[in-house]
Amino acid sequence: MPDFFSLPRERIATLPTPLEFMPRLTEELGGPRIYLKRDDLTGLAFGGNKTRKLEYLIADAKQKGVTHFITEGGVQSNHVRQAAAAARLGGMQAELVLNTPDDDVPLQGNLLIDDLLGAHCHYAATGPDRKPKMAEIAERVKAQGGVPYIVVSGGSDAVGSQGYVGMIQEMNGQLAEQGVSPRCVYVANGSAGTQAGMLVGQALFGGGYTIKGYCVVPGGAEEITQDTLTLANQCAAHIGADPVDPSLVLCDDTQFGSEYGCPTAEALEAIKLLAHTEAILLDPVYSSKAFAGMMVDIRAGLYANDDAIVFIHTGGAPALFAKVDLLKPILSR
Ligand SMILES: Cc1ncc(COP(=O)(O)O)c(C=O)c1O
């Protein structure tokens, strides 16, 4: 086994996150025993899956003497919000490139937190405009004697994905302690780093469960499966592990809906169900779509009542405040 534990890591997450049985949700759905891995509680400005990736990205940046931590995302990006917080802790200035068609974008949800954290926000009209803008900022930083560090969308590169290699080891320990052997682990797949890291983690630390990722960005299951496999193998190579078995990379695009960021009726039902049973909030862009996919499998009778399954709650609730209009169908008024 490679020496995964000697890799540079900045301890900024609140770990381990709980692995919790959901009794009311299990009863309501009348299916298998459902467990949540609470990565919405990782800490770092409202938590979420990016904290684990940022532990490695910030450590890498620190080793390189970085002064400006540059990254990108949609205007309500959770990754960007957590990157702004991580950069603060690492003593770096966050430079965030956010795409929005809105010239006068309101300070709400994740963007409000970016601002409170003192990040510099730069706006781009579209997603493809972000990369040139990041390069421009990096040049400006260099010209002023600083050291820039550019992080791709979602922190999903070989370094960032390591965070989810470690999550598998942590979760496997909790499953063993609680005597649980899940048949499937469900997770949202946006920029693929979370699922890719989990696949490498499973190859290293074991676990007899299926990992099922739900696509929340356009591209289709085939392309996203390939991207996830490529990233998993880049991460595996980075830490000296063997490549991942391609047959274990499962990405499902049936919950994507009409567009990125727009919750489907099923995702809204998922938000309402988890809030009303366990008082836990899913987000409208990622976790609710993966949760809806898990509900489809349960309702299709895939599991017996004494089976167990795990849902990785990847966080993202701050986006709820910025998407009130889209939540209307499940609000009282
Ligand atoms: C709340 C939330 N869940 C899941 C994901 C997907 O993670 P990844 O981009 O690593 O696939 C994201 C990514 O932005 C996210 O913000």
Tens digit of each residue's pLDDT, the chain (333 residues): 667 788 899 999 999 999 999 999 999 999 899 999 999 999 999 999 999 999 999 999 999 999 999 999 999 999 999 999 999 999 999 999 999 988 789 999 999 999 999 999 999 999 999 999 999 999 999 999 999 999 999 999 999 999 999 999 999 999 999 999 999 999 999 999 999 999 999 999 999 999 999 999 999 999 999 999 999 999 999 999 999 999 999 999 999 999 999 999 999 999 999 999 999 999 999 999 999 999 999 999 999 999 999 999 999 999 999 999 999 999 999
User: Residues near 275 by Cβ (< 8 Å), separated by ≥ 6?
Assistant: 281, 282
4-48+158-330 and 51-154 have identical folds: yes
What one-letter code names the amino acid at 141?
V
- Which residues make beta-bridge pairs with 310? 35, 185
CA of 120 to the centre of ligand 1 (A): 22
State pTM to two decimals.
0.97
CATH number for the segment(s) 4-48+158-330: 3.40.50.1100
Q: Is the CB of 156 under 6 A from ligand 1?
A: yes
Nearest atom in ligand 1 to the alpha carbon of residue 287 is 3
CA–CA gap between residue 57 and residue 286 (Å, rounded)? 22
Q: Is the CB of 192 under 6 A from ligand 1?
A: yes
pLDDT in the model for residue 125 = 95
Q: What is the DSSP letter of 126?
A: S
Q: Which residue has the tokens 């949540």?
A: 36
Residues with a known catalytic role: 77
Q: Which CATH architecture has domain 51-154?
A: 3-Layer(aba) Sandwich (3.40)
CA–CA gap between residue 267 and residue 284 (Å, rounded)? 7
| Structural domain spans, the chain | 4-48+158-330, 51-154
Q: Where are the beta strands (DSSP E) in the chain?
A: 19-21, 33-38, 68-74, 93-99, 120-124, 148-151, 184-189, 210-215, 250-252, 308-313
